[in-house]
Chain A
Amino acid sequence: MKKELFELLLRVADDHLVLGHRVSEWCGHAPTLEEDLALPNIALDLIGQARSLYTYAGEIEGKGRDEDALAYMRREREYHNLLLVERPNGDFAQTVLRQLYFSVFMHGWWREAAKSTDETLAAIAAKAVKESVYHVRHAAEWTIRLGDGTEESARRMAAAVEALYPYTGELFETDAVTDALSKAGIAPDPASLKAEWERTIADVFAEAELALPGEAWQHSGGRKGVHSEDMGHLLAELQHMQRTYPGLTW
């Protein structure tokens, strides 16, 4: 089960590091000063969660890799994050919607993971679930205000829905790793979180006067290390310093 747990921790850690990096790109560029504090705040939560998960993953793996080795010294194909989180920020509407999709999913995931038979994962989840409540609220409030705002903000929100919907299917994918861990009571079965996620999104969209997207073809591959073309650029920027001067104390 160690191999599966390591793989799962890595996936969730990668989701959080990559999204945290994306959100941090907003620093100094958000629409208002208040938002410029809120977004990095969320980015810091995400990176904090990634750090706990990487550290624990390194312990489970037992090969002496710490959080920095896992974050900075793996290549694109070794990253197993969702394609959703590596999507470029786009405009504010797109960032907000990406955040809503992911944090609503993670809120359910952390809540269930807090009941994990694995004590360390349960402890990480118990801390993260509080942060995820805030992330959901922040993203939902903005989705509603933009969707039910001006003609232009509604148009941009609708464009974001169209752009990101094909990346939501991957959230609920299951495979041998998730099956084994959910059977052992270690980590939630992502598919079991789908109905709740859809309900929450539908409620927010209703209030935002946004149309729910119909069925659409879904992208997949992130969990297997098959990424979109944006991922390599993201890692090049993220890892530049460690690649240039590997193994330094900082």
Chain B
Amino acid sequence: MAATTAGGVEAKEQPLLNVKWLTFAFMLYTVFYFWVRWYEGVYGWSAGLDSFAPEFETYWMNFLYTEIVLEVVTASILWGYLWKTRDRNLAALAPREELRRNMTHLIWLFAYAWAIYWGASYFTEQDGTWHQTIVRDTDFTPSHIIEFYLSYPIYIITGGGAFLYAHTRLPYFSTSKGLSLAYLILWTGPFMILPNVGLNEWGHTFWFMEELFVAPLHYGFVIFGWLALAIMGVLLQVFASISNLIGKDLCPDIPPAQR
């Protein structure tokens, strides 16, 4: 233990960056998606080839119904909790605690980035290869059940958590200042990829057999994908909020007026 002075007060203090929560955020998605990848690896081939077979109902449609219920429940509880426990007196926040919250906010963004990776990169291009393996007989193929209705809602829920955490707990993002435009785009852009699935599946009921990835029907996904670039604005805001807290210690020679 590094800090054992001042009657144990220092020792009990929370660390600035809670590495346990960071590890938890990383492992939560990693372990879960490794399990998902194992599941589809096994049951994609054994139960996911014919959507009219009873085993498809058991292993895949029930997966779909279950995940949708769990997602709605999780989003309601998580977002509701973050809002109900919002800090109603941000003016009284000590700088040290503000820095700690900034680090926790970075854990939220870390989780969001990791969730976006699995949703937008891993499971999305994975669907590309499943399309080349089956001629689909339903819109709810195994990879669609994972990609559209599992991995997308998960990153949307995570993004909502990050957004709500920042705007309810950090003075820089305080709702009294308004809403960060970049943060709104960062959350709602990738969110809109999910409703756009409606256009995608509707279109594919006309153009069913082939999968041309670059078909214009898919461009909605592209545009909403661009919006995640708003991470650039969000990170600028995050860095600005933190440099207000520690900047003067990094550059002690700069007179206060120029900080």
Decide if A and B are genuine partners.
Answer: no
Question: CB within 8 Å of B: which residues of A?
Answer: none
